[in-house]
Amino acid sequence: MKVLVPVKRVLDYNVKPRVKADGTGVDLANVKMSMNPFDEIAVEEAIRLKDKGVTEIVVVSIGEQKSQETLRTALAMGADRAILVVSETKVEPLGVAKILAKIVEEEKPDLVILGKQAIDDDNNQTGQMLAGLLGWGQGTFASKVEIADGSVNVTREVDGGAETDTLKLPAIITTDLRLNEPRYASLPNIMKAKSKPMAQKTPADFGIDVTPRLTTLKVVEPAKRSAGIKVADVDALVGKLKEMGVAK
């Protein structure tokens, strides 16, 4: 059984984003970039499925040349080989899904595991779009994945609780935070990852037009909250709550 795991290079989740003064976007010059946290969970899940019949894990990243660092991280975690689709311009989820659909046609995986959203664009679209394009079942926001014979049971985090769906294989899964705890790559594995194969492609190789459909007109900082006050004790807090009409 083959699993495909798309990963994205994003601004590290601990870094506070700075909006550029000219309003064109968020400043990504000289800031720490990492693998999108949900994608780490996706890679981890694929590795964990290795003792349940998964024989090969292929990781894919679409983006600038530096995305190969992200792919090396995935290889160091335990993926077998990587495909880098180089595009120096940003590719939207629809474009990413179309490229991934082509890669799926070539690679014929039984399962594609993606993160539920990237923490930069916060779109939460790519997995669903890929499932739509392929006509496959989708198990989004997964907190538990169980491979059965010809199908996969996916427990999903939904509003109000959890829901389990059974999907016919091949299928798409997107990971939620609680699916697993991703491992750290050990130094020997980081060294070993350097010699694992990494193919390089471009969107044009797949005949996919990645011209953006959305134009970002401007990016601004959200309205700042005005500075608050600190109260000395519970009585003062109760007084404030009463003033606001929250407490009687």
Neighbours of 234 (CB within 10 A): 8
Among 138, 145, 185, 210, indicate the residue that binds another protein (CB under 8 A): 138
Mark residues 187-226: x for contact with another protein by CB under 8 A, - for none: -------------------------xxxxxxxxxxx--x-
- Residue 124, class by beta-carbon neighbours within 10 Å (0-12 exposed, 13-18 middle, 19+ buried)? middle
Interactions with another protein, residue window 67-106 (CB under 8 A):
92-94, 97
Residues in the chain: 248
Return the range that interacts with another protein (CB under 8 A); candidates 62-70, 82-90, 111-119, 188-196. 111-119
Look at residues 42, 89, 101, 98 and name the one whose alpha carbon lies nearest to residue 70.
42
Return the range that interacts with another protein (CB under 8 A); candidates 77-85, 104-112, 153-161, 184-192. 153-161
Return the range that interacts with another protein (CB under 8 A); candidates 61-69, 77-85, 176-184, 192-200. 176-184
Smallest distance, Å, CB 168 to another protein? 6
Among 9, 99, 136, 145, indicate the residue that binds another protein (CB under 8 A): 136
Show the tokens assigned to 194. Answer: 């350097």
Q: Maximum distance among all alpha carbons in the chain?
A: 68
The C-alpha angle with vertex 34 and arms to 197 and 179, in degrees rounded to 5, equals 90
CB-CB contact of 63 with 27 (8 Å): no
Q: How far apart are CA 62 and CA 78, in angstroms?
A: 19
Return the range that interacts with another protein (CB under 8 A); candidates 61-69, 81-89, 154-162, 192-200. 154-162
Pick 34 or 117: Cβ nearer another protein: 117
246 part of the interface to another protein, by CB under 8 A: yes
- Please name the amino acid found at residue 17: P
How many residues of this chain interact with another protein, rule: CB under 8 A?
Answer: 80
131 part of the interface to another protein, by CB under 8 A: yes
Q: How far apart are CA 80 and CA 74, in angstroms?
A: 9
Among 16, 22, 187, 195, indicate the residue that binds another protein (CB under 8 A): 16
